[in-house]
Amino acid sequence: LSIDQMRGITSLDPGWKSIHEDGSPFPGETHPAMVALSSGQPVKNTVMGVFHPEKNDYTWININATPLFRPGAAAPHEVYTTFEDITERKKAEKALLESESLFKNLFEHHAAVQLIIDPSNGSIVDANAAASKFYGWTREQLRQMRIQDINTLSPEEIIKEMEKARVHERIHFEFRHRRSDGSIRDVEVFSSKIEAKGKDILHSIIHDITDRRRLEEELLKIDKLESVGILAGGIAHDFNNLLTSIIGNISIARMRVKSEHKVLELLNAAETASMRARRLTGQLLTFAKGGKPVKETVSIQKLIKESSLFILRNSKSRCEFLVAEDLWPVDADAGQLSQVFSNILINADQSMPEGGIILITAENLMPEKINDIPVDPGRYIRISIKDQGAGIAGKNLSKIFDPYFTTKTEGSGLGLATAYSIIKKHDGHISVDSEPGAGATFHIYLPASGKEIPEKEESADPLKGTGKILVMDDDTLLKEMIGQMLELLGYQAEFAKDGAEAILLFRKARESGKPYDTAILDLTIPGGMGGKEAIKKLLEIDPELKAVVFSGYSDDPVMSNYREYGFRGMMSKPFDMQKLSKVLHDVIKGQ
């Protein structure tokens, strides 16, 4: 209203349309000026909303009224009234209230864990419902706690971190928080300073990153394994070629020596040492890049018991078994799993120099029982191997599966790294629980198979046969050794140095009417055609060819899926006469 419009209007005029702050009507007789005039007492800071017809909104004013008296008069003759336009202030207050209401609503009902913390002493001022659910304490309990009761850092370190958040030096933190059940979770905290009632407080949003951290650690382990494996794989392949020749010649010598001959004992010792070297190269190759297992349906009970009997045959320690009678079979590489069990059992035995009991349990797990395990959904079996040794120091638990990490003076640091790699390549999981002085327990999770375990017939002696065999390899010593083995087994052998020569010899033999009964092809020929390429050409000449692939690269896809590439059999280097005779017998007989 203009000054002219206001002149002559009284507070009793209904055109004022005045209201209180709560929206109720503001009668004219309660106007501060009227009250001051009738009571003779000043009226201070009365807020009134006056409707503004042009703006179609209320203008808010703060009114102060002071009565004025003539000398000697008991009643005021007039009132001095001041009006202050506080509309903008009221709008700001309204916006603040709405903002506070919105913040409170977001805080109370948001799914993210949120805490309000006093940075001066770490007191938890408030906690939302999500925080109560995450930590396991009620909101009332959390309000009686300090962040020092939750954060695993020392109190001094926590105060330093809160100060960084208060002065905006940092807003992002990663901590470890303790829950009511005693479990520790890795958390990511975003903390910012806000002001409430003139005091600085910290508003913290907490995300559980335990699973993410675990995945990052798993990926880091895999990266380490693969980087080491690039070098290890090449070394192991070359060494396997040498071992194949050594083990093969030992097999030949044993067949040529009479059973009562004194040299037989020396040959047995040499073979034992060679087999130990083969296990070492097997470990190198297993966690080399690739390393896909050659799977078959196997019984875990049998593998565990065979491994324990072999590892503990001269030990003071002994095994006790608690294995479910209806334990499901698994699809696995039996040799690789035996390696896992052997490596863990060796560690368990070495942790108990005076002997002790190693408890091995195995049970079936339905899908709902593996929710907290980083594996795909499905049925699993869990094998747990518990020793009574000194346990593993907490600082070493996170490194226990790293390649070349060892706490033993004579350890290679490959055993558990290999076990980790094997289980991962079987789509499983391996973990360890330990406390110093209370032993260690390794848990292995493997997907269950839906297949039946096939029955196998094994012969103690090499299986002899007849036939003409083409052997392709670039290593002269290896060819000579394989030739002698084949001769002792009753076969006739001819040799090719690479795929091109093998194709030429194979074609000539077919044309002469004296074809080969089978071919043994090395997968990789440096600088020449290897078995993968040669088999395609040979099958074009004779689609019925029964060929065998062999290689020191047991992790190559051709080795694990040899039938898809046209082969009928497969041998990993190094191999002995028993293995060679078995593969040839099965391939030629069509098994």
Q: Is residue 517 part of a domain?
A: yes
pLDDT of residue 290: 46
pLDDT of residue 362: 94
Q: In terms of pLDDT, which residue wins out, 430 or 450?
A: 430
Q: Is residue 270 part of a domain?
A: no
**Residue 591 and residue 582: Cα distance in Å, rounded?**
11
Residues 429 and 476 in one domain: no
Are 354 and 316 a contacting pair, CB within 8 Å?
yes
Q: Is residue 235 part of a domain?
A: no
Give the least confident one: 58-72, 94-108, 177-191, 431-445. Answer: 94-108
Long-range contacts from 479-486, C-beta under 8 angstroms, 24+ separation: 481/244, 481/245, 481/248, 481/249, 481/252, 482/248, 482/520, 482/580, 484/248, 484/249, 484/252, 485/248, 485/251, 485/252, 485/577, 485/580, 486/580
Residues 475 and 441 in one domain: no
Domain limit, last residue, from 208, 231, 256: 208
Are 292 and 562 a contacting pair, CB within 8 Å?
no
**Residue 292 and residue 557: Cα distance in Å, rounded?**
7
CATH of the domain at 194: 3.30.450.20
Domain extent for 11: 3-86
pLDDT at 226 over 80: no
Q: Cα 511 to the chain's mean position, in Å?
A: 58
**Residue 213 and residue 386: Cα distance in Å, rounded?**
26
Q: Is residue 301 part of a domain?
A: yes
Q: Is residue 257 part of a domain?
A: no
CB atoms within 10 A of CB 172: 9
Place 459 in a pLDDT band, splitting at 50, 70 and 90: very low
Place 563 in a pLDDT band, splitting at 50, 70 and 90: very high
CB atoms within 10 A of CB 12: 11
Place 23 in a pLDDT band, splitting at 50, 70 and 90: confident
Number of domains in the chain: 4
Q: Is residue 272 part of a domain?
A: no
Residues 308 and 427 in one domain: yes
Are 57 and 19 a contacting pair, CB within 8 Å?
no
Task: Tell me the percentage of the chain whose pLDDT exceeds 90.
Answer: 35
Phi, psi torsion values for 110, nearest 5 degrees? -70, 145
Cis peptide before 25 (omega within 30 of 0): no
pTM, to two decimals: 0.44
Query: Which tens digit of pLDDT belongs to each residue from 350-380?
Result: 889 888 999 999 999 998 888 778 888 999 9
Could you report how far apart the first and last alpha carbons of the chain are, in Å?
A: 107
Q: At what angle do helices 300-311 and 334-350 cross, to 10 degrees?
A: 40
Q: DSSP state, 16? A: G
pLDDT at 64 over 90: yes
Distances (CA, A) of 333 to 237, 337, 425: 19, 6, 10
Domain limit, last residue, from 179, 208, 237: 208
Residues 146 and 198 in one domain: yes
Domain limit, last residue, from 447, 482, 502: 447
Q: Is residue 169 part of a domain?
A: yes
HSE (side-chain half, CA atoms, 13 Å) at 219: 6
Q: Is residue 19 part of a domain?
A: yes
pLDDT at 520 over 60: yes
**Residue 470 and residue 496: Cα distance in Å, rounded?**
7
- The residue among 341, 420, 310 whose CA lies nearest residue 374 is 420
Q: Cα 21 to the chain's mean position, in Å?
A: 59
**Residue 305 and residue 425: Cα distance in Å, rounded?**
22
Query: Which tens digit of pLDDT belongs to each residue from 526-557?
Result: 889 999 999 999 999 999 999 999 987 766 78
pLDDT at 456 over 70: no
> Highest mean pLDDT: which of 215-219, 486-490, 573-577?
486-490
Place 577 in a pLDDT band, splitting at 50, 70 and 90: confident
Place 231 in a pLDDT band, splitting at 50, 70 and 90: low
Q: Are strands 547-551 and 518-522 parallel, antiparallel or unpaired?
A: parallel
Give the least confident one: 20-29, 87-96, 265-274, 453-462. Answer: 453-462
